Structure 1
Amino acid sequence: MTTANQGDIVVGVDHSAISAAALRWAVSEAAVSGRQVVALRAWTFEPVYDLGAAVAGTPQAVADRERHQLDEVVGEVRAEHPGVAIRAELVEHSPAVALEEASKTASMLVLGSHGHSRLLKLLVGSVAEHCLHEAGCPVVVIPARTVPEKDATPEPESAVGYYPGPLL
């Protein structure tokens, strides 16, 4: 699992523009607070459900593809904010479980919303919904509506949806 340290800001990073916006928001927060950012990308090898995995053929090929995509987005954001420490972590697990586990030692969990079904999932997405209920730290959700289709960089102040921790 992830090796987030106490005080790290953990960001879920997938292939979407909203996750890149979440990473940018987290880096902006880290620049002010002096924290380190952990860009966490979870992956699984499920060729039955994932066409990319089926085409790649092997778990190592999928891991290599995921690492390349993670390094690419982290590299872009790192170039924009060279003074902020960003560590890229690739974890073989479901995103919801990997992020929940990382939240146990993180100071903050930052996610982009997607929205696919049901009311809460429409607002935040299934992984974010899971983390809102199960995370061990505060969760920040960057709304998808804040990311223009051609620009993945929202203004941090207007992009924050803050939730202070698990529902009791």
Structure 2
Amino acid sequence: MSEKESRPVVVGVDGSPASQAALQWAVEDARRRGCPVDVISAWHPYYGGMIGPVPAEVLMAMSPQAMKESAQKALDGAVHGFEGVEIRRILVEGDPRDALTKASEEAELLVVGSRGHNTVVEVVLGSVSSYCVHHAACPVVVIRQPKVKKEHALVAAAAPLTPGPLL
């Protein structure tokens, strides 16, 4: 990388609400810095959870080509609508931890979400954000998963409950 070329803000996306919040934060930060955003999505086949016979449709959806196409579609959807900053889409086959820490070697900043898709995957693979905090070659920002506002339903007044017949 030349002296004149600015280093990118790197952000990992996986389609989760936390990664979308991380992408939003990374784009705003890159806009302030005047640098590009490298949006990285990593995919890899994982067959460890399959037990017993599997329907053909499921096997077809789990083929490497189908998984790659699905990951590309999710990456394209994640970056849709962002303007005012150069966004480079990077789809990588492999472990997201490795892809992000490798990209951090040439980055100004690495941004990740605090939670991904699935607790089971996190147990099997480990926390991507924790790994990046400990192994990245640049500063790391971890964006917490957005809080979901819950609608409070009105509770209808009901007759008081009694413990049962009093003898």
Give the corresponding residue for 2:153: none
- Cα distance change, pair 57–126 in 1 and its aligned pair in 2 (3 A): closer
RMSD: 2.6
CA distance in structure 2 between the aligned counterparts of 1:14 and 1:6, rounded to whole angstroms: 25
TM-score (norm 2): 0.72
TM-score under structure 1 normalisation?
Answer: 0.71
One-letter code of the match for 1:83? G
In the alignment, structure 1 residue 128 sits paired with structure 2 residue 142: no
* Alignment CA distance shift 1:90-1:129 (3 Å): same
Among candidates 41, 65, 71, match of residue 66 of structure 1: 71
Q: What displacement does 1:53 show?
A: 7.4
- Bigger relative contact order, structure 1 or 2, given CA contacts below 8 A and separation 6+? 2
Percent identity reads 42
Query: Between Structure 1 and Structure 2, which shows a larger proportion of helix residues?
Result: 1
Question: In 2, Cα distance between the equivalents of 1:49 and 1:140?
Answer: 31
Task: Mark the CA change 1:49 to 1:9 in structure 2 (over 3 Å): closer, same or farther.
Answer: farther
Equivalent residues in 2 for 1:86-101, closer than 5 Å = 86-101=87-102
| Alignment check: 8 A CA contact 2:6 2:35 kept | no
The verdict on how the C-alpha distance between 1:53 and 1:28 changes in structure 2, with shifts beyond 3 A counting, is farther
Matched, 1:7 2:2: no
Q: What CA distance in whole angstroms lies between the structure 1 residues aligned with 2:63 and 2:70?
A: 11
Deviations 1:8-64 (A, max 9, x none): 000010020110010000000111110100110000012334899745142111100
Alignment of 1:27-66 (within 5 A): 27-49=27-49, 54-66=59-71
Which string of whole-angstrom CA distances, capped at 9 and with x for unpartnered residues, describes residues 124-162 of structure 1? x71111111110000011112xx1326xxxxxxxxxxxx
Unaligned runs of at least 5 residues, structure 2: 150-167
CA distance in 2, matches of 1:14, 1:42: 8
1:83 positional shift: 1.2
Match of residue 21 from structure 1: 21
| Cα pair 1:22 1:110 within 8 Å, conserved | yes
Q: CA, structure 1 residues 56+109, in 2 after alignment: closer, same or farther (shift >3 Å)? A: same
Q: Which has the larger radius of gyration?
A: 2
Aligned pairs, how many? 134
Partner of 2:20, secondary structure, is helix
